Amino acid sequence: MTTTARDIMTADATCVKASETVVDAARKMVELDVGALPVCGPDERLKGMLTDRDIVVKVVAQGKDPARCTAGDLAQGEIVTVSVDDDASEVLRVMSEHRIRRVPVIDGHILVGIIAQADIARTLPHTQVGDLVGDVSQES
């Protein structure tokens, strides 16, 4: 039996709305004990990912007011996702190719979960986990 994204993912990912402030997003991160949140628009479509590092580098370090910046302001660039029915090899390929530590899982256009490196570590053989961590962590 093939392992799919659905088997690996953490379900019920919480979105931060694109219109919510960075302060609201940071509070959600603390409340959920996570370092990243998917950003969703009013149509529930994924707009991007917001990380705690984004908040530090793109807001705090630049002297911007986190109460005036929105999550949507920071959710720019290419949105990398996997489908809920993609097999584990495709998930690993996407994460390695894009050098990302977590990837949103969608069903159609609806966010249904997140796969983080920890989810991979809990589910897949150690050799695959090691390869992924090496690919994602290597310097450019």
- Looking at residue 99, its pLDDT comes to 85
* Cα–Cα distance list, 105 to 11, 60, 69, 127 (Å): 9, 29, 26, 23
- Decide: 13 and 36 in contact? Cβ < 8 Å: no
- Looking at residue 31, its pLDDT comes to 95
Which residue's entry shows tokens 């249904």? 112
- pLDDT tens over the chain, length 140 residues: 788 999 999 998 889 999 999 999 999 999 999 888 999 988 878 889 999 999 999 999 999 999 999 999 998 667 899 999 999 989 999 998 998 888 999 998 888 999 988 888 888 765 555 555 555 556 55
- Looking at residue 131, its pLDDT comes to 59
User: Which CATH code fits 5-137?
Assistant: 3.10.580.10
Which residue's entry shows tokens 């402030």? 21
- Looking at residue 13, its pLDDT comes to 84
Give 80's DSSP letter.
Answer: P
Residue of 23, 86, 76 whose CA lies nearest to 52 = 23
The string of DSSP codes covering 89-126 is HHHHHHHHHHT-SEEEEEETTEEEEEEEHHHHHHHS-H
| Tokens matching residue 54 | 């984004």
